[in-house]
Amino acid sequence: MKFVDEYRDAELGRALSAQILSLVEPGRHYKVMEVCGGHTHSIYKYGIDDLLPENVELVHGPGCPVCVIPMGRVDDGIAIARREGVIFTCFGDMLRVPGSERTLLDAKADGADIRMVYSPLDAMRIAKSNPDRDVVFFAIGFETTAPSTALTLKRAKAEGVSNFLCMCNHVTIIPPLRALLTSPDMRLDGFIGPGHVSTIVGARPFEFIPADYGKPLVTSGFEPLDILQSIQMILAQLAEGRSEIENQYKRVVPYEGNRAALAVMAEVFALRPHFEWRGLGFITQSALRLSDAYAEFDAERRYEVPGVRVADPKACQCGEVLKGVIKPWECKVFGTACTPEHAIGTCMVSPEGACAAYYNYGRFAREKELV
Amino acid sequence: MRVLAVDDERGLALCTDGQGRRETVEIALVLPVAPSDELLVHAATAIAKEGSQ
């Protein structure tokens, strides 16, 4: 398949692996963070860890949109979903994210009309088919997904679909990266930049990472050779004493981003003063709400929600996993009390979550090592 | 996903993935779009044209 097969060539993979080996200094430990959950998934799926020298460690970042939703927001969603006459819609993996007591799937089993959709456009179609009911879309995701919500809201406004509402949980990638870089318990050598977010925002917003913190960032695609080449580019920068933004994913990422997407986002959304991230706490200007021009579509303005901050369960260490402080298998409940079937933490729910990715693809290799 | 047909009036395209599945995709962010273009699609919205950079 075009744009896929050529990025899975084993011979080229071995050549890149050899180049990576030639770039590392023996005795130095390298920590490279993959920001995006899609990269985490690919790394485990394709066993990219196994192609790296032992002293190159990949650290998983906060870029899984489902993983960073705090329990209180799930409770708020459930409160709306339980209202008479509401059809509540969300992406499939969001259904299984635990709130303080229940998941959306539990609420659906209790009788709430909660439906899984593939896109906000699907949710709007449901609204058009049910003009006598309010249809609420629980919007999540980084800048990759936010334009889709924005375009759908524009469409709803243009077509007068007034029973389509949005509970906006979109987040932005730069503020948590800043928070991580200023965290005293985090020492990183470089970043694999989020490829799909970068198709929207471009590479420019990441310039502060080399400029202020002296760390290289390489925007990367998601196929195995993309990721290997990006690691090679980061290590080459470190070997040459450079720290720059480089773009490995040139086939889709323009340096300036997608202007049409940025324009529609600016029209439909406004920055929230602060937003709670699971594991990371409140981060200033790190999330989006609907702009005043789209207030009529804002579910949080239409309905009262509890808005209560809920602490994560004590056993769950998603926060440390999201910050890259611990590996998934170092969590006390990983693979025992917490599995994809019965997740305690969000990182075990989404396929992009580090715990789910590791559980699905990596744990058997590790069990073999331990034996 | 590969574009099969474009509905300019509604700003939508019929696309297919590698497994032959078909999907209607919002194309406002990547115009102009023509049949056989390869699109990067997220949540039924094309966010980039592959190979266009």
Q: Is the peptide bond before B32 cis (omega within 30 degrees of 0)?
A: yes
Helix (H) or strand (E) holding A247: strand A245-247
| Residue in A97, A95, A93, A139 with CA at minimum distance from that of residue A119 | A139
Q: How far does CA A335 lie from the centroid of its chain?
A: 22
Percentage of residues in chain B with pLDDT exceeding 90? 85
Across the interface, whether the CB atoms of A251 and B31 are under 8 A apart is answered: no
What is the pLDDT averaged over residues B1-27?
A: 94
3-state secondary structure of A34: strand
What is residue A310's predicted lDDT score, i.e. its pLDDT? Answer: 86
Residue in A122, A199, A250 closest to B47 by CB: A199
What's the pLDDT score for residue A2? 65
Chain A neighbors of B52, CB-CB under 8 A = 251-252
SS3 A314: coil
Contact flag A118-B28 (C-beta cutoff 8 Å): no
Report the pLDDT value the prediction gives residue A323, as an integer from 0 to 100.
80
Output the pTM of the full model: 0.92
Q: Which residues of A36-51 are buried (b: 16+ CB within 10 A; e: fewer)?
A: bbbbbbbbbebebeeb
DSSP letter string over B1-53?
Answer: -EEEEEETTTTEEEEE-TT--EEEEE-TTS-S--TT-BEEEETTEEEEETT--
CA distances from A41 to A46, A150, A258 (A): 9, 27, 25
Contact B26 A121 (CB under 8 A): yes
Q: What is the pLDDT of residue B40?
A: 94
Q: Which of A121, A199, A251 sits opposite B51 (nearest CB)?
A: A251
Mean pLDDT by 10 residues, chain A (371 residues): 77 94 95 93 91 93 89 96 97 93 95 97 97 98 97 97 98 93 86 96 96 97 96 98 96 94 98 92 95 98 90 85 86 91 88 88 62 43
d(CA B34, CA B27) in angstroms, rounded, equals 10
Tell me which H or E stretch contains A36. Answer: strand A30-36
> ipTM value of the model?
0.91
Please give the pLDDT value at position A371: 43
The pLDDT, as a whole number, for residue A367 is 56
The helix or strand, by DSSP H or E, that contains position A108, with its residue range, turns out to be helix A104-109
Taking the CA atoms of residue A293, residue A297, residue A300 and residue A304 in that order, the dihedral angle to the nearest 10 degrees is 120
**Cα A241 to Cα A173: distance, rounded to the nearest angstrom:** 26
Ramachandran class of B44: left when φ > 0, alpha when ψ lies in -120 to 50, beta otherwise: left
Which of B7, B16, B26, B50 is the mutation pick for testing A, counting most A CBs within 10 A?
B26
